[in-house]
Chains A and B, each alone.
Chain A
Amino acid sequence: MKYRKTFLFLIRAVLFLVILTGVLYCTAVVLQCKDSQYKYADFFRTADQLDVLFLGSSHVINGINPVQFYEDYGYTSYNMGGHGSVVPSTYWEFRNALDYCRPEYVVVDAYMLEKDFHYLDQGEDGEDANSSTDQLHLNMDCWPYSQTKVAAVKDLLSDKKLQRQFLYDFILYHNRWEELGQNDFLQLTGNEDRNILMGAEQRFKVDAVPDIEYPKDDTGMLTGQTQGELYLEKLLKDCRKEKIRVILTFLPKAQVTEEDVQSANSAGQIAEKYEVPFLNFLKKSDVVNFYTDMNDNGHLNSNGMQKVTEYIGQYLHEHTDLADHRGDTGYELWDQRVDEFQQSEAEQTQTQENLYSELMVLGNHSVNYVVYVKAGSEILKDPEAVGLLEELTGTKEIENAVQSGGPYFLAQDDTKGIMQEYTEPAEPDAFDTTAGKMEYIGLPDFGAVYLNGDEDHNLLDMGDNYGSDLQILIMDRKNGQVLKHQCWYAQGQDYQLCEDDVAQGQNR
Chain B
Amino acid sequence: MQVITIEFLIFLPLVALVYYLIPGKIRYIWLLVASYFFYMSASPVCALFLVTSTMTTYAAGLLLQKKRRKSVLVCCLLINLGILGVFKYADFACGTAAGILSVFHVQMTDPGIKLLLPVGISFYMFQALGYVIDVYRGDITAEVNPFRYALFVSFFPEVMSGPIERAGHMLPQFREPAAFDPDHVRDGLLRMMWGYFLKMVLADRIAILVNTVYADPEKYPGTVLLVATILYTFQIYCDFAGYTNIAVGAAGVMGIQVMENFDCPYLAGSIADFWRRWHISLSGWFRDYLYFPLGGNRKGLVRKYINIMIVFMVSGLWHGADWTFVLWGGLHGLYQIIGKLLMPVRNFMVKAFHVNRNSFSHRLLKILCTFSLVSFAWIFFRAEDINTALYVAGHLWHFQPWVLTDGTLYGLGLDAAGFNLMLGCLAVLIAADLCHFHGLKISEKITAQGIWLRWLIYIAAVMFILVCGIWGPGYDETGFIYYQF
User: Which residues of A line the B interface, CB within 8 A?
Assistant: 5-6, 9, 12, 16, 19-20, 23-24, 27, 31, 161, 165, 170-172, 174-175, 177-178
Q: Is the interface of A mostly helix, strand, loop or mixed?
A: helix
Please list 30 pairs of residues, one from A and one from B, whose beta carbons are closer than 8 Å in the complex, sorted by A's number.
A5-B182, A6-B180, A6-B182, A9-B185, A12-B451, A16-B458, A20-B459, A23-B463, A24-B463, A27-B463, A27-B466, A27-B467, A31-B467, A161-B473, A165-B472, A170-B466, A171-B471, A171-B472, A172-B472, A172-B473, A174-B466, A174-B467, A174-B469, A174-B472, A175-B468, A175-B470, A175-B472, A177-B467, A177-B468, A178-B418
Contact with A along B446-476 (1 / 0, CB 8 A): 0000010001001100110011111111000
- Shortest Cβ distance from residue A334 to the other chain B in the assembled complex, whole angstroms: 38
Asked whether, in the complex, the Cβ of B455 is within 8 Å of the Cβ of A16, the reply is yes
Is B417 an interface residue when CB atoms closer than 8 A count as contact? yes
> Per-residue CB proximity of B392-425 to A under 8 Å, as 1/0?
0000000000000000000000010110000000
Q: Are B473 and A178 in contact (CB under 8 A)?
A: no
Known contacts A24-B463, A178-B418; is A165 also within 8 Å of B473 by CB? yes
* Smallest CB-CB A-B distances: 4 pairs: A9-B182, A178-B417, A171-B472, A177-B467
- Which chain A residues border B471 with CB–CB below 8 Å? 171, 174
Chain B residues with CB under 8 Å of A172's CB are 472-473
B181 to chain A: closest residue by CB: A5
Residues of B within 8 A of A5 (CB): 182
B118 CB, min distance to chain A CBs, angstroms: 25
Count of residues in B whose CB is under 8 Å from the partner chain: 20
**Chain B 180-202: CB-based contact to A (< 8 A → 1; otherwise 0):** 10100100000000000000000
Residues in A whose Cβ lies below 8 Å from that of B455: 16, 19
**How far apart sit A5 and B186, CA to CA, in the bound complex (Å)?**
13
Which residues of B lie under 8 Å from residue A23 when comparing CB positions?
A: 459, 463
A24-B470 Cα distance, complex, nearest whole Å? 17
Q: Name the B residues within 8 Å of A171 (CB-CB).
A: 471-473
CB distance from B455 to the nearest CB of A (A): 6
* Docked CA distance A217–B149 (Å): 78
Residues of A within 8 Å of B466, CB to CB, are 24, 27, 170, 174
Contacting residues, chain B, for A19 (C-beta < 8 A): 455, 459
| Cα of A27 to Cα of B417 in the assembled complex, Å | 19
Which of A6, A12, A16, A175 is the one whose CB lies under 8 Å from B467? A175
Binary contact readout B121-133 vs A (1 if CB under 8 angstroms, 0 otherwise): 0000000000000
Q: Separation in Å of the A492 CB from the closest CB of chain B? A: 38
Q: Please, which residues of chain A bring their CB within 8 A of the CB of B463? A: 23-24, 27
Q: How far is the CA of A499 from the CA of B462 in the complex (A)?
A: 51
How far, in angstroms, from A177 to B473 measured CA to CA in the complex? 16
Q: Which residue of B lies closest to A178 (CB)?
A: B417
B415 cross-chain contacts in A, Cβ below 8 A = 178
User: A368 CA to B353 CA in the complex, in Å?
Assistant: 89
> How far is the CB of B443 from the nearest CB of chain A, in Å?
16
Q: State A200–B415 Cα separation when bound (angstroms).
A: 34
Which residue of chain B is the closest to A31 with respect to CB atoms? B467
What separation, in Å, do the CA atoms of A172 and B471 have in the docked complex? 9
CA of A9 to CA of B17, assembled, Å:
13
Contact with A along B81-121 (1 / 0, CB 8 A): 00000000000000000000000000000000000000000
Q: How far apart are A153's CB and chain B's nearest CB, in angstroms?
A: 15
- Docked CA distance A177–B455 (Å): 22
Q: What's the minimum C-beta distance from A362 to chain B, rounded to whole angstroms?
A: 41
Q: Distance (Å) between the CB of A382 and the closest chain B CB?
A: 43
Q: Which residues of A contact B459 (CB under 8 A)?
A: 19-20, 23
* Chain A residue nearest in CB terms to B186: A9
- Which residues from chain B contact A31 at a C-beta distance below 8 Å? 467
For B468, the closest partner residue in chain A by CB is A177
| B 159-189 binary contact with A (CB < 8 Å = 1; else 0) | 0000000000000000000001010010000
Closest CB-CB distance, A158 to chain B, in whole Å? Answer: 15
B323 to chain A, nearest CB (A): 37
Question: Which B residue sits closest to A23, measured CB to CB?
Answer: B459
Q: Which residues of B contact A20 (CB under 8 A)?
A: 459, 462
Most chain A beta-carbon contacts within 10 A, residue among B182, B185, B418, B471: B182
Report the Cα distance A481→B259, complex, angstroms.
81
| B470: chain A residues within 8 A (beta carbon) | 175
Given A20-B459, A175-B468, 11 extra CB contacts under 8 A: A16-B455, A19-B455, A24-B462, A24-B466, A27-B463, A31-B467, A171-B471, A175-B470, A177-B467, A178-B415, A178-B417
A9: shortest Cβ distance to chain B, in Å? Answer: 4
A9 CA to B471 CA, complexed, in Å: 31
Provide the residues of chain A in CB contact with B417, threshold 8 Å. 178
In the complex, residue of chain A having the shortest beta-carbon distance to the beta carbon of B462: A20
Distance to closest chain B CB from A174 (angstroms): 5
Complex CA distance for A174 and B462, rounded to whole angstroms: 13
B49 to chain A, nearest CB (A): 28
Shortest CB-to-CB span from B199 to chain A, Å, is 15
Q: Chain B residues near A177 (CB, 8 Å)?
A: 467-468
Return chain A residues, CB-CB under 8 Å to B451. Answer: 12
- Chain A residues with CB below 8 A from B180, complex form: 6
Once the chains are docked, how many angstroms separate the CA of A27 from the CA of B465?
Answer: 12
Q: For B469, list chain A residues within 8 Å (CB).
A: 174
CA distance A175 to B185 in the complex (A): 29
